Chains A and B, each alone.
Chain A
């Protein structure tokens, strides 16, 4: 049993890893990730030169040093334009932006297209100048102002040790997003791969040789595990590259991965793997019902819909992890990997609940394997085009 399984596993794995498609898809995904991780830098690259800015100011203070401090990188030329002249200057291309500041502190920005960054910077600076003038005019004691500006300190005391801090909650929901994406991605991509491979072996009729030499369950497990290995290899490459390329981006820093505990990682791994196996087994079983690659869509669609349902449920649950319906749904094996993981991350879930959901998942994986081998035995020898007819045939004991 073991030797045949290993032979099948090794052959499947090597064929996949050596295939050009594996190399190409990995390279493409790495490129995508590197691009996505450096999106800020790339956007910067394309934004071109700093706009030429002219400043028309009726105020006595020179705004330029303050503007520089507020982050304006362009050179600022002072001019004495009216609005009409400013328009002309912009039209002619002498300046990209003309900022007109009146002594009433009204500001007009003249430019060909909206300049939202500059607008905020100018507004901040002018507001500071105005505030300063108002304070001086009203003769307000600077100390009074300082005590007004001071925020009220709030200290949070948590009574239960399992409670989550704000940071933890944020990191958890970010992680849940990551997991949901990973699960969807993996199951849709690699699950689809399982169906395609099985359909391929059926249409090239190798299947008859394979299952006359090894049992359907060995074949099915070897297929699922070899593709799981391929997916883990590919995902580790992607996670590694993604981590290094995204490390510096601000988006990444918000994830605060430092708050990840060992417990979280274990949960992530367990739910992810069990989820993969459940869906993969289901897809393998259904894959044995089709005989051509073109028909694979017909059987993958219902499973993909299940994943989408799980995804939507978890999106809703993010805002209401304690909702009674969410609690109930987290025990449904198809939804457990996403919904139960989310509950564990965001709330306190008793250990017995987690255990029960895991046991239910294991039972349904075994069940799916059992049904799968039954399908397999009947399905792989029958070459019809209609999977439903096929299913009826197997269920009624006719092959």
Chain B
């Protein structure tokens, strides 16, 4: 279990991370969200032991995290461009205390998992960006870390590669790896994470277990597709906001009862409903509401 207690990092007068607290049980995924400069990378560097928190503590099963148990995928990809794939991956695994023989076996497995065994002896600079990214991920997981830190793992990937990487991440959690990752893609975070924290200028504006967070918002929304014009229903009591997009409308409502009334109202007026989905707020909504609010004030 990863326990981050009240960590704060100050650089001179500047506070990069302000009192972040989060707990992530083994085998679960924690997503760290935030705009650029919100303090995500600083948080990761503290987890890695590259930076010491000014206040607070980070523990892994109650102890300091040993470097051999961490895997790290940095935001800016970092590999030796002119060194062969197998040479540098084995080197990096050995540096995290893995035996060369074991590392070799694991490397073959991973290359086969991604269906790229032919790249084993090639130099990194010869590979495409998507394949470099897979190699980078292998460099982070080869030594079988218990805690895996992924900084923007899906940025710059095409959908096929992103999907492949996502599958790999899920597979790792099944094996018991605890994962901390950051992304600005809310859909990825929502799909993968049980725990999230949204940082804004270093301050955690939202942090905790995702279903709890969503529930605490009380607000829910309806995804609606209908031929009834909004004028007909958007002033019903309990309707907070209406946005339209290609798929119809996203309606924020104050409660489940409001949603029911909305549906009944449209049908009773003789209109069709092609799609009606009652849902909690999406992470995107929460993010925009929390972070956006601060920009406005």
Taking a contact as CB atoms under 8 Å apart, the answer to whether A397 and B12 are in contact is yes
Taking a contact as CB atoms under 8 Å apart, the answer to whether B11 and A210 are in contact is no
Q: Which single residue of chain A is at the shortest CB-CB distance from B140?
A: A209
Taking a contact as CB atoms under 8 Å apart, the answer to whether A208 and B67 are in contact is no
Q: Which single residue of chain B is at the shortest CB-CB distance from A15?
A: B83
Q: Which single residue of chain B is at the shortest CB-CB distance from A200?
A: B80
Q: With A8-B95, A214-B95 as known contacts, state yes or no: A398 contacts B74, CB within 8 Å.
A: no
B residues at A contact (CB < 8 Å): 11-12, 14, 45, 48-51, 67, 70, 72, 74, 76-81, 83, 87, 91-92, 94-97, 139
Instruction: Give 16 CB contacts A-B under 8 Å.
Output: A4-B95, A4-B97, A7-B95, A15-B83, A201-B80, A204-B78, A204-B79, A205-B74, A206-B80, A209-B72, A209-B78, A210-B95, A212-B49, A381-B50, A381-B51, A399-B51
Give, as a whole number of angstroms, the nearest-CB distance from B267 to chain A. 58
Give, as a whole number of angstroms, the nearest-CB distance from A391 to chain B. 15
The 3 A-B residue pairs whose C-beta atoms are closest, nearest first, are A205-B78, A398-B11, A213-B95
B-chain residues with CB within 8 Å of residue A201 when the two chains form the complex: 80
**How far apart sit A210 and B79, CA to CA, in the bound complex (Å)?**
10
Bits for A222-259, please: 1 = Cβ < 8 Å to B, else 0.
Answer: 00000000000000000000000000000000000000
A-chain residues with CB within 8 Å of residue B78 when the two chains form the complex: 204-209
Give, as a whole number of angstroms, the nearest-CB distance from A192 to chain B. 18
**How far apart sit A204 and B79, CA to CA, in the bound complex (Å)?**
6
Find the residue from A15, A209, A396 having the highest chain B CB count within 10 A: A209
Q: Which single residue of chain B is at the shortest CB-CB distance from A19?
A: B82
B-chain residues with CB within 8 Å of residue A377 when the two chains form the complex: 50
Give, as a whole number of angstroms, the nearest-CB distance from B58 to chain A. 14
Q: With A206-B79, A209-B139 as known contacts, state yes or no: A11 contacts B74, CB within 8 Å.
A: no
Contact residues of A: prevailing secondary structure: helix
A169 at the interface (CB under 8 A from B): no
**How far apart sit A204 and B80, CA to CA, in the bound complex (Å)?**
6
A3 at the interface (CB under 8 A from B): yes
**How far apart sit A271 and B247, CA to CA, in the bound complex (Å)?**
78
**How far apart sit A213 and B88, CA to CA, in the bound complex (Å)?**
14
Q: With A7-B94, A381-B50 as known contacts, state yes or no: A209 contacts B74, CB within 8 Å.
A: yes
A211 at the interface (CB under 8 A from B): yes
**How far apart sit A397 and B9, CA to CA, in the bound complex (Å)?**
12
**How far apart sit A208 and B81, CA to CA, in the bound complex (Å)?**
15
A-chain residues with CB within 8 Å of residue B95 when the two chains form the complex: 4, 7-8, 210, 213-214
Q: With A206-B78, A208-B50, A211-B50 as known contacts, state yes or no: A11 contacts B91, CB within 8 Å.
A: yes
Which residues 10-33 in A have Cβ within 8 Å of B in the complex? Answer: 11, 15
Q: Which single residue of chain A is at the shortest CB-CB distance from B47?
A: A212
- Excluding A15-B80, A212-B67, A398-B11, 4 further A-B contacts by CB distance (< 8 Å) are A11-B87, A205-B76, A208-B72, A214-B67
Give, as a whole number of angstroms, the nearest-CB distance from B4 to chain A. 17
B-chain residues with CB within 8 Å of residue A207 when the two chains form the complex: 78
Q: Tell which of A3, A209, A381 touches B92, judged by Cβ atoms closer than 8 Å.
A: A209
Taking a contact as CB atoms under 8 Å apart, the answer to whether B72 and A212 are in contact is yes
Q: With A381-B45, A398-B12 as known contacts, state yes or no: A212 contacts B50, CB within 8 Å.
A: yes
Q: Tell which of B14, B80, B92 touches A213, judged by Cβ atoms closer than 8 Å.
A: B92
Taking a contact as CB atoms under 8 Å apart, the answer to whether A7 and B72 are in contact is no
Taking a contact as CB atoms under 8 Å apart, the answer to whether A399 and B11 are in contact is yes
Taking a contact as CB atoms under 8 Å apart, the answer to whether B74 and A208 are in contact is yes
Q: Which single residue of chain B is at the shortest CB-CB distance from A207?
A: B78
**How far apart sit A380 and B211, CA to CA, in the bound complex (Å)?**
39
**How far apart sit A4 and B97, CA to CA, in the bound complex (Å)?**
8
Give, as a whole number of angstroms, the nearest-CB distance from A16 to chain B. 11
B-chain residues with CB within 8 Å of residue A399 when the two chains form the complex: 11, 51
Q: Tell which of A206, A212, A214 touches B48, judged by Cβ atoms closer than 8 Å.
A: A212
Give, as a whole number of angstroms, the nearest-CB distance from A345 to chain B. 43
A-chain residues with CB within 8 Å of residue B94 when the two chains form the complex: 7
Give, as a whole number of angstroms, the nearest-CB distance from B181 to chain A. 16
B-chain residues with CB within 8 Å of residue A396 when the two chains form the complex: 12
Give, as a whole number of angstroms, the nearest-CB distance from B133 to chain A. 13
Q: Which single residue of chain A is at the shortest CB-CB distance from B100?
A: A7
Give, as a whole number of angstroms, the nearest-CB distance from B73 to chain A. 9
**How far apart sit A220 and B8, CA to CA, in the bound complex (Å)?**
29
Q: Which single residue of chain B is at the shortest CB-CB distance from A214?
A: B95
Give, as a whole number of angstroms, the nearest-CB distance from B243 to chain A. 40
Give, as a whole number of angstroms, the nearest-CB distance from B37 to chain A. 14
A-chain residues with CB within 8 Å of residue B76 when the two chains form the complex: 205, 208
Which residues 373-392 in A have Cβ within 8 Å of B in the complex? Answer: 377, 381
A-chain residues with CB within 8 Å of residue B79 when the two chains form the complex: 204, 206
Give, as a whole number of angstroms, the nearest-CB distance from A127 to chain B. 68
Taking a contact as CB atoms under 8 Å apart, the answer to whether A204 and B81 are in contact is yes
Give, as a whole number of angstroms, the nearest-CB distance from A30 to chain B. 25
**How far apart sit A11 and B14, CA to CA, in the bound complex (Å)?**
39
Q: Which single residue of chain B is at the shortest CB-CB distance from A201?
A: B80
B-chain residues with CB within 8 Å of residue A381 when the two chains form the complex: 45, 50-51
Q: Which single residue of chain A is at the shortest CB-CB distance from B151?
A: A208
**How far apart sit A245 and B103, CA to CA, in the bound complex (Å)?**
47
A-chain residues with CB within 8 Å of residue B139 when the two chains form the complex: 209
